[in-house]
Structure 1
Amino acid sequence: MAKDDYFVIVYKILAYLYVQLKAGEQIDPRLISADGYLCSVNDKYWTYIWVNLVDSGFVSGVSYERAWGKDVVISDLEDVQITPAGIEYLCENNRLKKVVEYLKDVKAITPFI
């Protein structure tokens, strides 16, 4: 599993949003931007991920709009929050459990990340 795998990115975003929610802290949109620390992917892929997070009901406070029938514009991420469905997906999804194990392995190999 690669660090830019869809499920790895989704896990990182949802986990970050959940941690911030539980801590009562504001999110830093720069961390979850396309070139942010948690994502670091191309814009088209990042947009695809966010469209699916919104459509799946895993996040709220963010929306998207299709411009010129093709391009997708994501609204500001400052008010994005994980939803109960997102928390359930984060905690119960078997594929995401594999991501957690993968990320633990990566951290063990490269502890500076």
Structure 2
Amino acid sequence: MEYHLTGTTSEVTVDDRGVHIRRTKGPMKGAEKTIPFAQIASVVLKEPSILVGGFLQFQPVGYAGHGLHTPAQAAGDENTVVFAKKGYDEAARIKAAVESRMGQA
């Protein structure tokens, strides 16, 4: 299993080890984070509109999230990938794949 989504400022890859988020733009460019499936409590998918991008957020166990509602809020969250309309189908596949593995080692 491997999925990949390139967002506006970061990209996410999902493989058998977990979720890997890498920043591709901005002040955090080059920063990488891996979240094992066992540490993911939920996945939030916000569908993009014509004017506003969507986002895919991976909430780790114990995450004190701040209730993201817009891509602008999501852009600063290290567990979130903001994407354009064309990325929605892949984001939905990633959400389903991660949810099927959540809590597993």
Verify same fold: TM over 0.5.
no
With normalisation by structure 2, the TM-score equals 0.32
Whose strand proportion is higher, 1 or 2?
Answer: 2
